[in-house]
Amino acid sequence: MTKNRLIRSKAPLRLGLAGGGTDVAPFSDLYGGAILNATISMYARATIQPRTDNRIRINLLDKQETLEFDAGEQLPVDGKHDLIKGIYNRIVRDFVHEPLSFELSTYVDAPPGSGLGSSSTLVVAILGAFAEWLNLPLGEYDLAHLAFEIERVDLNMAGGKQDQYAATFGGVNFMEFFREDKVIVNPLRIREKYLDELAHNLILYHTETSRLSNTIIEEQRKNVMAGNERSLDAMHKLKEQSVMMKEALLKGDLDRIGEILDFGWQYKKKMAAGISNPMLDEIYGAAIRNGALGGKVSGAGGGGFMFFYCPDNTRSRVIDALQQFGGQAKRYEFTAKGLTSWSI
């Protein structure tokens, strides 16, 4: 591990096309969850440069923040960069059993609260860099599950399971979630022309707002535990939506995707308060009036990115209509590869 060696990694962000929220316990434990997601050409990136001075330096390049401290066997989880500290603590505890000295630089193409799984994707990217540096024996399922455990168990952060697996595996996947954190990732072989058409017709729109998903997810959990019929029925409908979306994509029945997105959005809003709000409803309505067939808020809801299915030549008209809300349409492509790491 020479000082001038660079270890890099990148992991793709994702669009949750159907079934969102059914990967969150206790619903996934009690009833099983199902989600269809696809990774896109926006990434979380990590670079590790080994050091020999028993110091750790963290550079969050997108946030222009730097943190430096002494290396130790366990770093204090104190509300400051806990995700990175949680990863380090688990790597040292489970694999190397001694302090590590390094400089870690990270960058994410979307801000926190965007709804594209940015936090979990960053965890996967950092783990990928550590695995490359230290030659850790981690397969795809191992690494995704470790990322999930660090966030949801070690750090007790609210959320589901799909983001870690999407970032690790990449591509278009139908994911099934069971009790005891069992996950099965089913890669879908979608014809390239269908994915190209989907990327053209699916507008990714950043509302220039963010949201605290923890509040929404916690209410969703409480609704399940309380047996709230409205919320539970909505989650079962979203499971059905994921199967509908899978069939439409595999068969190339693309214009049906707009209807399926709208079906899911109407039920998603019933899972918990705060998933939508007057501003998001206004944006959604404007998109529909100008030719979109359906859409949704990405992630838990409340803000961040939205996306809309716009058939034929309605894409430009919808983008023009959304300009009044001060957000921005983002260009992207679907990606086939998940986590990638290398060293120089």
Residue 233 annotated in active site: no
Catalytic residue among 109, 163, 253, 255: 163
CA distance 236 to 27: 9
Q: Which long-range contacts (CB under 8 A, 24 or more apart) does 135-139 make?
A: 136/91, 136/95
Structure tokens at 183: 């996950």
Tell me what percent of the chain is helix, strand and coil, each rounded to the nearest 5. 40, 25, 35
- Compute the radius of gyration of the chain from its Cα atoms: 20
Pairwise CA distance, residues 92 & 51, whole Å: 16
Amino acid in the structure at residue 59:
N
* Integer Cα distance of 89 and 83 in angstroms: 10
Kind of pairing between the strands at 102-108 and 55-60: parallel
Q: Tell me the CA distances in angstroms from 120 to 33, 87, 219, 233, 276, one per residue in order.
A: 19, 11, 20, 28, 23
Which residues, including other chains, have CB under 8 Å from residue 105's CB and lie 6 or more apart? 46, 47, 49, 59, 61
Residue 166, token pair as written in the block:
């999407």
Distance CA 19, CA 224 (A): 16
Residues annotated as catalytic are 163
